[in-house]
Chain A
Amino acid sequence: MKVLSGKAAFKGVAIGKVKEFGGKQVEVNRTSVTDVEAEISRFEAAKETASDQLGKLYEKAVAEVGEENAAIFEVHQMMLEDEDYLDGIKGMIRDEQVNAEYAVSMTGQNFSEIFASMDDDYMRERAADVKDISARVVRILAGVEEGGAVMEEPSILVAEDLAPSETLQLDRSKVLAFVTRKGSTNSHTAILARTMNIPALVMVSEAENVDGLMGIVDGKEGKLIIEPDEETLKSYQEKLEAQRKEQELLNALKGKPSVTKDGRKINLYANIGGVEDAEAALANDAEGIGLFRSEFLYLQSNDYPTEEEQFEAYRAVAEKMGGRRVIIRTLDIGADKQIDYFELDKEENPALGYRAVRICLNKKEVFRTQLRALCRASAYGRIAIMVPMIISVWEVQTVKEILEKIKEELRAEGKEVGEIEFGIMIETPASVIIADELAKEVDFFSIGTNDLTQYTLAIDRQNAKLDMFYNAHHPAILRMIRMVVDAAHEAGIWAGICGELGADTTLTEEFVNMGVDELSVSPAMVLPVRNKVVNM
């Protein structure tokens, strides 16, 4: 028995055979051919097949992860059609009278060396692209099945790291867990695991030469156990059984309304941080998106994201969620979230500083770009806009004025704008106290309990010395939530919770009794919270 440790990216237990991804490399040998024209035709046919495959991958990716993220497959397709690349291959077959596999593989290597030698990280990645497309053509020529891991039985998939193109090709029904030697808890694989609700480990650097062995993934402790002894196996089989029973119970709640025994209904939505997470929300039967953090668009980019880029992302989620409500929070950076190109000054006290809507109302062009993208996307689904860090009525009115102007402007340009609900986050004590006035200006409130707790208790969550003073269920917070809900209902609008407290199942009953209309939680918590609601 060997215990390898890494970092847990998603909880759960899995037991099964370990399968190394990409283990099956096609070996390319140089052979000479006599009929070069026949060999060239053979290559051309394989290239056509490869191009078709990439075209299908592109379409699949557009549907699953949006046009922006899918673009790489279109670029792959173009690289495959590149004249210099094709001439290189055909020239080699003709001049050296070699087999197509060899010519493709060598030409791919030559081109990838050009990129690999460039002093630019981004371009160096293109070296992998050329190798990737060449390997695809070679696989087709050799008649080897697609996909680096053809799994006959459900397996624990081990890989260096998984690229989006690779995960898209997986037969997901056969993956028990993901283990990567590299990657991070935010990597593509980790996000996919959360979507699929299966355990995942990252940074398990010692997971080498484990293909075909029996393994256990412990997604709580961050361990991969290879060839477990009988006792260990037995204890994990029990854990797996308990997990299976619980999941079965939760799965039975899919498609069921979140209604208490006495008929009170609550909307159970999901918090997401990127386009890809929408799938996890749907897989867990979320009734909508209660918080779509738009920061990811700004964080993953080296410059202000364009209106078009943002529009694509918002539209992708709106379409994916069908007619379900998608609440998108406008830019919330500053404090602990810094972005270089915003060039924000260092602050003594960033939590009380220049952040969120305060930046938006100063950098109006940045805000306008985001609002235009949101309005345009509203034609494709049920979009709601939510503004963070509000303390005053004038801020809300100013944002509304800007928003109205943008809607008019877009309509004048002949662009369609849908119905948009407008709401604010309640996360400052000031906004709680004046909730009655704010309620007259908006369609809904969403209580951000993380910041509200920090500002109300004057406690920094990162400071371990304050743990003895910290109480997540402090009566001040619970009373504030009640005040906000009452103020909302008084004005005829709805109120929800999108902070961590919303997923605290020990409070679900209290929230429902207060009349909270919506709880937005991480996708994996949707069904556990619904379980609580239907049993009360």
Chain B
Amino acid sequence: MKEFNYTVQDALGIHARPAGLLVKEAAKFPCDITLKCGEKKGSAKKIMAVMAMGVKKDMEVTVVCEGDKEDEAAAALEAFFKENL
């Protein structure tokens, strides 16, 4: 299992467009990828679940990768968050 934390900087939070990009990025890896924010959690591979979490600016999210290629997935997603959110 591999995980990292990130505090969202984007003024709109994880809104529709970045949610779509995030799901596309997550879909590239075979492992399970879970997004946690406070009490809520959901699969980062499902756009409705990601959007329904309603992550806003300054909220901290935890991304957990578990399974095949979890190291690559965590590294790629961490870079993704820094670049887009």
Q: Which residues of A contact B (CB under 8 A)?
A: 71-72, 74-75, 78-79, 82-85, 111, 114-115, 118-120, 122-123, 126, 129-130, 302-303, 341
Q: Which residues of B contact A (CB under 8 A)?
A: 10-13, 15-17, 19-20, 23-24, 45-49, 51-52, 54, 56
Task: Give me 18 A-to-B residue pairs in the complex whose CB atoms sit less than 8 angstroms apart, sorted by A's number.
Answer: A71-B20, A74-B20, A75-B20, A78-B20, A79-B47, A82-B46, A82-B47, A82-B48, A84-B48, A84-B49, A114-B52, A115-B51, A118-B52, A120-B13, A122-B15, A123-B51, A123-B54, A303-B11
Beta-carbon nearest neighbor of A88 in chain B: B48
User: In the complex, which of the residues B16, B24, B45 contacts A126, with contact meaning CB atoms closer than 8 Å?
Assistant: B16
List A contacts of B13 (CB < 8 A).
120, 122
Q: Shortest beta-carbon distance, A102 to chain B, in Å?
A: 20
Does more than half of chain A's interface fall in helix, strand or loop, or is it mixed? Answer: helix
User: In the complex, which of the residues B10, B11, B12, B52 contacts A115, with contact meaning CB atoms closer than 8 Å?
Assistant: B52
Closest CB pairs A-B (n = 9): A302-B11, A303-B11, A75-B20, A82-B48, A78-B47, A75-B16, A118-B54, A71-B17, A114-B52
A130 to B10, CA, bound (A): 23
A72 to B21, CA, bound (A): 12
List A contacts of B17 (CB < 8 A).
71-72, 75
A85 to B16, CA, bound (A): 16
Is B16 in contact with A302, judged by CB distance below 8 angstroms? no
Beta-carbon nearest neighbor of A303 in chain B: B11
List A contacts of B47 (CB < 8 A).
75, 78-79, 82
A74 to B48, CA, bound (A): 14
The total number of A-B Cβ pairs within 8 Å is 53
List A contacts of B19 (CB < 8 A).
75
Q: Shortest beta-carbon distance, B67 to chain A, in Å?
A: 17
- Central interface residue in A79, A115, A123, by most chain B CB within 10 Å: A123
A75 to B46, CA, bound (A): 12
- Central interface residue in B15, B46, B49, B51, by most chain A CB within 10 Å: B51
User: In the complex, which of the residues B10, B16, B46 contacts A83, with contact meaning CB atoms closer than 8 Å?
Assistant: B46
Contact A120 B56, CB 8 Å, known A75-B16, A129-B16, A302-B12: yes
Is A303 in contact with B10, judged by CB distance below 8 angstroms? yes
List B contacts of A341 (CB < 8 A).
11
A122 to B10, CA, bound (A): 13
A114 to B47, CA, bound (A): 13
List B contacts of A74 (CB < 8 A).
20
List B contacts of A111 (CB < 8 A).
48, 52
Is B15 in contact with A123, judged by CB distance below 8 angstroms? yes
List A contacts of B24 (CB < 8 A).
78
List A contacts of B20 (CB < 8 A).
71, 74-75, 78
List A contacts of B56 (CB < 8 A).
120
List A contacts of B15 (CB < 8 A).
122-123
A61 to B34, CA, bound (A): 32
List A contacts of B23 (CB < 8 A).
78
User: In the complex, which of the residues B11, B48, B49, B54 contacts A120, with contact meaning CB atoms closer than 8 Å?
Assistant: B54
